[in-house]
Chains A and B, each alone.
Chain A
Amino acid sequence: MDIQPKENRKVSAYYAMFLIHKMQLGVGILGFERVIAKYAEYDAWISIIIGGLSVHVILWLSFRILHKDGNDIVSIHQFTFGKWIGGVVTVFFILYILLITVTILRTYIEVIQVWMFPGLNAYVLMIVLGLLVYSFVIGGFRVIAGAAFMGILITLPLLLLKYFPLQQAHFSNLAPVFNHSIKDILLSAKTMTLNYIGFELVFMFYPFLNQPRKAEKWAHFGHAFSIFIYLVSALVSFVYFSQDQLKHSVWATLTLWKIVDLPFVERFEYVGISMWLFGVIPNICLGLWAASRAVKRLFYFEQRKSLIYLLAIVLMCSMYFETRQQVDLINTILSRMGFWIMYFYIPILFVLYTVVHKVRKKTP
């Protein structure tokens, strides 16, 4: 049951940083500013920090659970809830991961449709991306970890583009600081959780990390880096847009790319969106890998085959959501689910797991 991956399929401890960071930085960053500014308005950058710190705590809890037996969530569930109930909970976890994957894929395709090619046949593009993802995932976890690293490397320079909007910045937008009630700031922090979703995959790839105790530190670095990037993006958007204007900007970060005016390319958003594919592909790969791995562990199903079925499910679900409202809907559902899983399920699991662990140790 508790099959550990072979040494040659593991990755170094510091990859935890790339994996966690990459998974959090999906498509949300292209337009999260409007959502988080809904309650706390331009004090929402405080919410990013508060939300981020709370996720640090959850991440710490997750590692406390994982360090105990050094195994993934499938066996943790079985250990805590028994074979049948544990299996059912794992199935829910798989569905949750698939939902993350669908949301990322569908939102990215929507961006391409709205910003680049309105006449795009989404099905065909999805199938092409599906083939790409398949060839990555089939290569195993190491290939995906490499893809995540490359994805960060390629998309990180896009942060330099913040220089252009800063030239027209109105820094007075941020003043006065703390002009909103604690309640508003916390509500905004709650909407921010959608953007931190994704670190839960550590429950799947934990056994694949060499020296997992060292990896914990790197995972926290990765998450801190995500907070930093979200913070910079939000602050730049806040000083660039006036408040009502931001409310009307669905993709604030993308709109910022629009004003980048380089001598050799007048419309940078086309370059940016294309480059962002490298930021999105590893996420989809990771999601599908985690889901297919969980299926393998749970049902002893060959990962290659389950991958094809899961890929088909993800693609079909993505095709099902067509309009802006539907895409918004899956984002809302995911953010609610993510919120509950992060702040309720993981702490509860921690408590139960610790209790069961103690009880079982006493009665061998």
Chain B
Amino acid sequence: MDRLALDVAHLLAGGLVLVSFMLLYQDRMTGLVNNFALHALVVSLSVAWQAHIQHAPHLYITAAIALIVKAIVIPLALHRIIVQLGIHRTIETVVGIGQTMLAGIGLVALSIMVMLPITAKAGTLTQQDLAFALSVLLLGLLMMISRRNAVSQVIGFMSIENGLILAATGAKGMPLVVEISVAFSILIALIVIGVFLFRIRERFDTVDIHALHQYRGEQL
């Protein structure tokens, strides 16, 4: 049982890293949002599995929030936004996909090299979970800086948050209230960013943040 629990937890955490790579690779808007829904689904499964093996029923609530909000509500909202903005075409990347993937692999290696020695005293489960969580986090950051489109930056931001949830549930004893407040702050961030996206589009007829540059007043 113990062995199986560990293996499944690894499978799910590793799966999350894999989906993060898929996010990096995906260059169509609709696909990206679907991928993000998958990302959230894997996180909620992983959290639920942690709840099961840690016998921590409050984690089921976290899993449910992740499932409902991030795997269903937010992707649906993003789909609506994309359709309304009319940008369900390809998205540009700054660096080529290949280089981005290579950088991502480097980041995963880095986070494993950092995390494994530091957490040597913790249990195997926590140790590997933290390494995977840091990878997801760095990949999300990489996505945020390698994309131009505001919508994909939002998705990168939320994938970072998924990495944080993974780290938080891997460590035992995280209070429920922290997770709930994090989840709600993400939801609110989405609403705010969504409103902003529309405002930006109304003003400048695009959501490509490069276009905003020339409007900055204080530029020398």
Answer whether A and B are interacting partners: no
Name B's A-contacting residues (CB within 8 A): none
